[in-house]
Structure 1
Amino acid sequence: MKEDNASINLYSQGAYYFGIDEVYSFCMGLMERMRSSYEKYNPEDFVHAITLDIEIAPKLFRKLKSVALFIDTDKEIEDFQSIGVQCREILIELSNYIYTPSMAGVYEQPKRSDFKNKAK
């Protein structure tokens, strides 16, 4: 459907719209709602919700936030290797908190710093 030489390819071609102004208004309203909900989004609320406020969560979240600051400022390869090491340590700490020896079942117990096998 074309009106005023403006294409409305993102909408059903069989649908009837009163005009391009209505479509534009709809898009602007939708974008405003998305922007508004994004401004209200707080990542820390999400973290609290999914971690169920277990005692280790704030400690790990604090470490992740400090690593995130380094990602924005670091420039050298050694800096990024350091970030990788810190992320690995966070994963190991998390796995040691969650993992119990009974999870291995009949298989060999993973080493203390073996996140990969503990995650399996």
Structure 2
Amino acid sequence: MTPEYRVEAEKNITSYLAGNDVNGIKYMQVEQTFDDLGGEVHVWNVKADDGNWWVVEGEGVPMNLYTQNEFYFSADEAYSFHMGFTQRLQARHHQTFKHVIDEVPLDIDGVKSISRRLNSAALKLNDVSGPEDLQSIGLTCRESLIELAGILAQGNPALLKDHGLKAADFKGIAKAVISIYAAGRQNSNLRKRCRNLIEAAWDQSSEVVHSPNKNVPDAKICLLFTCSAVSVIQNIFLKYLGRL
């Protein structure tokens, strides 16, 4: 532990304790440091007006305090309980966490084929052997956006005629739909952000398709932009309908 880390840690612990109504700190010292799980985790011995506490903090773990008066009689006990609790929280997070691709289907009819297409592209990212594989992912993203344009045009029959758009003009159709679903002065910033995302998704997919010099992160970004564009269009539609 460096002197700089110690000073910053003491400041954070003091603030954390105050937030938990522990004041009047008389003593604060690192009792023991553990590194058996890969990162340094420190157990601090803190004595205050209202009792004695263990405070556990360190790399990749949240800070928490444990009383020394009842259940946690040693730094090792506090550390063991804290890491077990933290690992359970992390496991629960991984079980409930959803990748951005999982946002695509929602509950709207007509985009299941897009979802399947994008999930297939995501799997291909794990088996890239050459530029043509990356270009294929870019092409899948672009085809998904064109399919979305067709769905939007089908749901708004007068859209193409009123705006002079072609059925495959994803950017034009998406921007027109954004103006419908996010109308009004109060949504002006939202419209701008959505349009920027639409531009980014289409332009990135086109670059990945046509360039032989792109790499896996470029294809991942392409996929993320595409998924986000599909999800954003669906969510502003839900906003338009007034759904929570």
TM-score category (smaller protein)? 0.5 to 0.7
Q: Which residue in 2 is equivalent to 1:88?
A: 142
- What amino acid maps onto 1:36 in structure 2? R
Deviation track 1:27-76 (CA, whole Å, cap 9, x = no partner) reads 7524522321322456687555x2x141x232221111111111111131
Greater share of strand: 2
SS of equivalent residue, structure 1 residue 90 = helix
Please provide the CA RMSD for this pair.
3.3
How has the CA–CA distance of structure 1 residues 113 and 74 changed in structure 2, closer, same or farther, with 3 Å as cutoff?
same
Structure-2 separation of matches of 1:86 and 1:12: 50
**Does 25-34 or 85-94 show the bigger shift?**
25-34
Structure 1 unaligned segments of length 5 or more: list them: 1-5
Aligned residue type for 1:86: T
Question: Cα distance 1:47–1:26, how it changes in 2: closer, same or farther (>3 A)?
Answer: farther
**Alignment partner, residue 19 of structure 1:** 54
How far, CA to CA, are the matches of 1:97 and 1:89 in structure 2?
A: 12
Alignment of 1:59 with 2:113, yes or no, is: yes
Identical counterparts, % of pairs: 25
* Cα distance change on mapping 1:45 and 1:113 into 2, 3 Å: closer
Larger radius of gyration: 2
For these two proteins, the number of residue pairs brought into alignment is 111
Match of 2:85 in 1: 29
Aligned residue identity for 1:109 = G
What secondary structure is seen at the aligned counterpart in 2 of 1:19? strand
Q: Which runs of 5+ in 2 are unaligned?
A: 23-45, 47-52, 57-63, 66-78, 176-244
Length-normalised TM-score, structure 1: 0.67
Superposed displacement of residue 86, structure 1? 1.1
- 2:80 matched to 1:79? no
Distance 1:32 1:11 in 2: 24
The reply to whether residue 39 of structure 1 matches residue 95 of structure 2 is yes
Counterpart CA distance in 2 for 1:46 and 1:85 is 21
